[in-house]
Amino acid sequence: MLFVPQRIPTSLIVEAAVSLEPVDNALLTMIALLYPENYEGIDPWVAKAVQKMGPDRHQEHRFVISSVGLDGLANLAPQAADFDDYLQQLEATEPISLRDTLFYWLFHSPHVHVKDDSQYDPPADLSPMIEDLDLFINGMSELLTSKMVPTRLQEVHQFYQDPSTLKIRLINHLTYMWTQLLQPEWACVRPRLEDSVNAFNAIPLNNLTIFEAMERVTGRDLRFGFDIDAIQAYRKIRFIPHAHNGPYVVWYGDHEELRISFPPRIPETVSNDNTQHYDRTALANRYKALGDEIRLQILSIITQAGEVSTQDIIDRLKLDKSAASRHLRQLVATSLLVQRRESGAKKVYRLNPAAIQEMEEMLATLK
């Protein structure tokens, strides 16, 4: 099957930056702790942290963080210098203002609206959804590609009914997560993240389109995960190295700036002795992805067929949809596969020769 690249506008230049963002990093770790079982290859610390939390705390974490979302949390106190400052600013925020900010970004989430399968256009006035359960359920059902059961949505809606209780419950949970889990880990991972930030700040990121900037920093071609019109509306993009999401990128932001987390890496350069510098983080993640029989079978199938769909993998390997998606997600995140969307929601996958060649070249240096 002939692979036809999607036509991407190339003339729109963005302002790109790479920065540490301690608050965002803490929030991104909380996202990683939600459903780690759905993402192969994430950092082993995540599983240990979930175990330390215990079932009750982890259930509370899933409810609170899923109910407010990453975009809302990141926009509550965007100028906070660190997470302690963030918590102090939340304490100083009026409960209704805090509730309304979270509710706004729940429905205006860039994480949702820049995806290539997003079709929801939220109403200008969201207050009726706060007041009316049926309107809320209908709006959330249109917003989310994965359906939530009505009883779960009813719990979320009830969460937003009492701003004072919402504020107390949110801050208490965030404080626990920061002091008991995230703060000690932040001290461990921060030097590696700073190395990545400093390395990218030493190279030019100007005169790039948004997709060129994405590929320059993340090392991945991310064009096929986004709605082209929605993503081209951004003129600012900020990249944040994050240690706990394994090979995966996470996007969020506001109406002015899109933010993307990426595995901490050093940009590809040529050293003084003219030997190629390899992205060790990316290579390590690829080798982890190969350490599974099913994923090796998937790669073998695609090698023979050239390009296959998710359903092809399900049928050939007798997998359920969630298992197939989980394995394909990791292979795409590590750049071993490239995905594109055909008509409708059908995704198809092909090998990425450049990633495989890089692995071969690196192994050749060990001879």
pLDDT, one tens digit per residue, over 113-154 is: 888 666 678 888 999 999 999 999 989 888 875 556 677 899
Q: What is the pLDDT of residue 145?
A: 59
Q: Which two tokens stand for residue 99?
A: 């509730």
The residue with tokens 């759905």 is 38
Q: What is the pLDDT of residue 270?
A: 35
**Mind listing the pLDDT tens digit for each residue in 301-315?**
998 988 998 888 999
User: Is pLDDT of 275 > 50?
Assistant: no
In percent, how much of the chain has pLDDT > 90?
A: 54
Q: Which two tokens stand for residue 217?
A: 């920093």
Q: What's the DSSP call for residue 219?
A: S
Distance (Å, rounded) from C-alpha 251 to C-alpha 240?
Answer: 10
User: Is pLDDT of 96 > 90?
Assistant: yes
CATH 1.10.10.10 fits 280-364, yes or no: yes
Q: Lay out the sheet containing 347-351: strands in order across.
A: 308-309, 347-351, 337-341
- Consecutive H or E run containing 85: helix 83-91
Q: Which two tokens stand for residue 207?
A: 């005169």
**Mind listing the pLDDT tens digit for each residue in 307-338?**
998 888 999 989 888 888 888 988 888 888 88
Nearest in space to 262 (alpha carbons), one of 281, 277, 280: 281
Q: In whole angstroms, what separates CA 287 from the centre of its chain?
A: 21
Q: What is the pLDDT of residue 2?
A: 31
- Decide if 206 contacts 152 (C-beta within 8 A): no
pLDDT band at 274 (very low <50, low <70, confident <90, very high): very low
Distance (Å, rounded) from C-alpha 80 to C-alpha 92?
Answer: 12
Angle at 366 (CA atoms; ends 364, 367), nearest 5 degrees? 75
Cα separations (Å) of 363 from 180, 212, 278, 283? 41, 28, 11, 10
User: Is pLDDT of 211 > 50?
Assistant: yes
Instruction: Give pTM, 2 decimals.
Output: 0.84
Cβ count within 10 A of residue 320:
9
* Mean pLDDT of the chain, nearest integer: 88
Q: Which two tokens stand for residue 82?
A: 């660190």
Distance (Å, rounded) from C-alpha 108 to C-alpha 105?
Answer: 5
Which residues in the chain are classed under CATH 1.10.10.10?
280-364
SS3 209: strand
Q: What is the pLDDT of residue 232?
A: 85
